[in-house]
Structure 1
Amino acid sequence: MTTTWFRTYYEDEDLWLCFEADEESWAVRHMEIGGKDGRPRTAASLQEVLHLRDHADLAAMTRYEQRYGILADAPLDGWQDQPGATELTAEEFERLWGEARRVLGGGG
């Protein structure tokens, strides 16, 4: 099993998209961070989404999506060819994740 952490730049929105991807290139965690201000916009987790799907109601899922955004729902193959694509270390990703969750109000 290989986990990959990386970011790409989405110029149209001036956003860095940061991902933790599993061995099949599916997003496990996904963040969007503003380019100019560096402010986290989203920080969604597959584990949390699946837990809500299985144990909560639609209102809880809606609240989650409003706070943390929506997880990428397609394989992330070919990310290396995207603008500004850079592999991140696990430590870099965890630092960004912790900051994003703190800003968005959810702890680590």
Structure 2
Amino acid sequence: MTRWFRSYWTEEDTWFYFEVDADGCVTRQVELQGPLERPIAAASLAEWEAAQQTGSLADYEATFGGTAEVPVQEWDAHEPQDLTVEEFEAIWRTARATCQARARTRSTHGS
């Protein structure tokens, strides 16, 4: 069963939004950092694996970041807050668009 939740990590001033499968593995992850909740990652495990296989992992991670590699059950307790799929999808779409726009800006400005 798929589960969606978020957790705030004070030490990083970051909200982490997770989609996890029945085994607790993160399948999609969004990270929003700072008081403005700026998207810094919106990664999909399936896309990450495909990028790794095609040799484009560096480009993928530069655009979307990565997902947690440790199953959720193994983390410290960060007081997760459950989300609906609709709440997760709204955050996902916004973060993906921001990451893609930032990548386009980098490629046109050469940075």
**TM bucket, shorter chain:** 0.7 to 0.9
Given the alignment of the two structures, is residue 5 of structure 1 paired with residue 4 of structure 2, yes or no?
yes
After superposition, the CA RMSD in angstroms is: 1.7
> What's 1:64 paired with?
60
Query: C-alpha separation between the residues in 1 aligned to 2:34 and 2:86?
Result: 20
For residues 40-51 of structure 1, what are the structure 2 equivalents within 5 Å? Answer: 40-51=39-50
Partner of 2:109: none
Structure 1 consecutive aligned stretches of length 4 or more whose deviation exceeds 3 Å: 78-81
**1:16-27 equivalence runs, <5 A:** 16-27=15-26
Number of positions where the alignment pairs a residue of Structure 1 with one of Structure 2? 101
Counterpart amino acid of 1:72?
Answer: A
Q: 1:27 to 1:64 in 2, by over 3 A?
A: same
Please give the per-residue CA displacement for 1:12-62, whole angstroms capped at 9, x wherever unaligned: 1110011000000000001111241021110110110121223x11xx110
State the TM-score, normalized to the length of structure 1. Answer: 0.86
- State the TM-score, normalized to the length of structure 2: 0.84
Structure 1 residue ranges without an equivalent (≥5) = none
